[in-house]
């Protein structure tokens, strides 16, 4: 039995029941889930994904709304530029592909905000194609089981893609099944900090286990802090703008954070990222991107 066979067999019995894995799920729904899952836990993504798909079940629905609505709907998922990318992606799908998310890898890669991982994930999980889909979880499983290393590198390389490609079955549908199975194994069993090796289908053949499961060499990556960072300030500013019923004066934004320099830097960053727009040359009033016109009538 190959590694892929073992992992698929384990997956068939132990996979989490996630809504974007239901047979018949559209490529658009898979794309939305993959963008949301970047740097955000499943438990937070699931309700947000349901709400998003209820409102915008296809690219046409989202493309009809301004990007500000995507930012609002994104809520507190974090990294809100992902909402802007999804909106731009929906517009591009309408303009270039008649509203259908393409199944061609190169066409997927050409969509706004769709990188190597996301394009391969959509082609594989939505269309059942044979592509190595490599994220942090997959890299860790392959690194331990095949190479015998305690952890993988910080970013996906061509070597990682090649190593995963060698493990995939030749038949596309089964290769797609293997891809999601390896990912699931890394997410819930072969975890970074507390791997549950006794529950792993690869325990007997894992090169890392057979070498004594050595600990990583060198400093471990510490979780990114949030409190007090520009990310927190940006989130507070966006929260005000998301719930506003009209243009927000600068004075109201000034009230969210006491450090004037940091607050100004965070606001300038939101403007530079295209998430927020000033309404006048003096930058005294602000709205979410695309909120004017027609959402707000002119002030009198």
Residues marked active site are found at 34
Closest C-alpha among 144, 115, 117, 127 to residue 210: 144
**How crowded is residue 268: how many other Cβ atoms within 10 Å of its Cβ?**
12
Strand 276-278 and strand 248-249: the pairing is: unpaired
The answer for 294, left when phi > 0, alpha when psi is -120 to 50, beta otherwise, is alpha
């Amino acid at each position: 039995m190959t590694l892929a066979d073992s992992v698929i067999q384990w997956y068939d019995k132990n996979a989490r029941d996630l809504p974007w894995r239901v047979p018949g799920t559209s490529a658009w729904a898979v794309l939305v889930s993959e963008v949301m899952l970047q740097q955000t836990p499943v438990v937070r993504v699931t309700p947000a994904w349901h709400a998003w798909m209820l409102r915008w079940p296809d690219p046409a629905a989202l493309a009809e709304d301004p990007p500000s609505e995507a930012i609002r709907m994104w809520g507190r998922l974090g990294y809100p530029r992902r909402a802007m990318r999804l909106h731009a992606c929906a517009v591009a799908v309408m303009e270039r592909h008649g509203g259908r998310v393409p199944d061609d890898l190169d066409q997927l890669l050409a969509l706004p905000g769709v990188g190597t991982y996301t394009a391969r994930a959509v082609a594989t999980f939505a269309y059942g194609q044979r592509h190595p889909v490599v994220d942090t979880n997959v890299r860790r499983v392959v690194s331990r089981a095949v190479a015998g290393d305690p952890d993988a590198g910080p970013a996906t390389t061509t070597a990682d893609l090649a190593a995963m490609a060698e493990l995939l079955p030749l038949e596309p549908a089964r290769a797609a099944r293997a891809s999601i199975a390896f990912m699931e194994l890394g997410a819930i069993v072969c975890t970074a900090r507390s791997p549950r090796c006794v529950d792993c289908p690869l325990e007997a053949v894992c090169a890392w286990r057979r070498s004594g499961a050595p600990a990583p060499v060198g400093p471990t990556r510490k979780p990114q802090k949030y409190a007090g960072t520009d990310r927190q300030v940006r989130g507070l500013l966006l929260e005000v703008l998301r719930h506003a019923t009209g243009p927000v004066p600068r004075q109201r934004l000034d009230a969210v954070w006491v450090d004037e320099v940091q607050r100004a830097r965070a606001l300038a960053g939101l403007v530079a990222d295209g998430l927020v727009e000033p309404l006048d040359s003096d930058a005294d009033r602000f709205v979410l991107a695309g909120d004017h016109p027609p959402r707000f009538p002119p002030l009198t």
